[in-house]
Amino acid sequence: MKTPLTIPARRTPGRWRTLGFLLAAVAMAMASVNPVQSVAGERQGTRPTVVLVHGSWADGSSWNRVIERLQDDGYTVRAIPNPLRSVASDAASVRAFLETLPGPIVLVGHSYGGFVISNAATGLPNVKALVYVNSFAPEAGETPFQLVGLDSALAVDPATVFDLVPATVPPTPQTDVYLKPSAVFTSFATGLSTDDKNLVFATQRPGALGALNEPSGTPAWKTIRSWSLIGTEDQIIPADEQRKMSQRAGATITEYDAGHLGLMTQPGTVTRVIEQAARAVSR
């Protein structure tokens, strides 16, 4: 009589226990991977990081409406602090941050932030595009005050548009410069609601006087492709001055019906230009 086939009782639990451990490990590994995040990561990996640099009398929150749109479209965005102390030190601060980022970068500057990105990106191979938003695009040796032009709301008696801290006269290069309420309401923050203008005035971050009189070094736009968004209603850096700088830099130019804070009043247009630059350098 044939002996029935039996499975040793002591070995069976061990085998199933081992198999159970393996299945549990696989399940845990799969659970740790979010398919949506994985796809998004792959998508973002082919796109440049967008780095936003604010100008004088502002901070990174001035980009909030643009950031929301860029992030909704799948871009990695960093809106970094601009110290507003001097062209050289501000550029060095931004450059140090850029050097920590892997992969390609689209570097965007608003107003004085354009001065900073022009100096920060010089010689950095991973910065693939510069985007100037109502911004300075200086040549070597030029200063911000030189480039605002005679029609700027700032090209008047400084005592009528600026508050100095400390208030001692004469000021020094380290003196903090704030905009007076009249300058914010009538020229700097045009196009915003009264509530938003009050917020801009209340939260403005001062720049050091010396930064507005400091010459640029060799600008990055000489070797990096650039885009420029010109606000035709800008009273701080008038459109004619922006055009001169943008044309000299060989920038791809877009004009829009906006004042100096177009990044806040027309964030959709600003976002589209940034994304145009990002797509152009991703091909």
* pLDDT tens figures, 189-207: 999 999 999 999 999 999 9
User: Which of 114, 19, 2 minimizes the C-alpha distance to 58?
Assistant: 114
- Mean pLDDT score across all residues of the chain: 88
* pLDDT tens figures, 253-275: 999 999 999 999 999 999 999 99
User: Which of 97, 226, 235 minimizes the C-alpha distance to 155?
Assistant: 235
Helix orientation angle between 64-72 and 267-282, rounded to the nearest 10 degrees: 50
Residue 250 DSSP symbol: T
CA–CA separation, 66 and 64 (whole Å): 5
The percentage of the chain sitting over the pLDDT mark of 90, rounded to a whole number, equals 83
Q: For residue 252, is pLDDT > 50?
A: yes
Residue 11: burial class (beta carbons within 10 Å; 0-12, 13-18, 19+)? exposed
Cis previous bond, 166, omega within 30: yes
User: Which of 64, 74, 100, 52 minimizes the C-alpha distance to 282?
Assistant: 74
Q: 33-37, 57-61, 189-193, 197-201 — which is least confidently predicted?
A: 33-37
Q: What is the pLDDT of residue 41?
A: 38
Q: What is the pLDDT of residue 46?
A: 73
CA–CA separation, 138 and 45 (whole Å): 32
Q: What is the pLDDT of residue 57?
A: 98
**CATH architecture, domain defined by 46-148+215-282:** 3-Layer(aba) Sandwich (3.40)
* pLDDT tens figures, 86-113: 999 999 999 999 999 999 999 999 999 9
Our CA angle for 48, 89, 152, nearest 5°, is 85
* pLDDT tens figures, 218-229: 999 999 999 999
DSSP for 99-148, written as a single string: TT--S-EEEEEEEHHHHHHHHHSTT-TTEEEEEEEEE--PPTT--HHHHT
What does the pLDDT average to over 226-252?
Answer: 98
Contact 138, 147 (CB under 8 A): yes
Contact 245, 138 (CB under 8 A): yes
Q: For residue 37, is pLDDT > 70?
A: no
Q: What is the pLDDT of residue 56?
A: 97
Residue 82 DSSP symbol: -
Residues belonging to the chain: 283
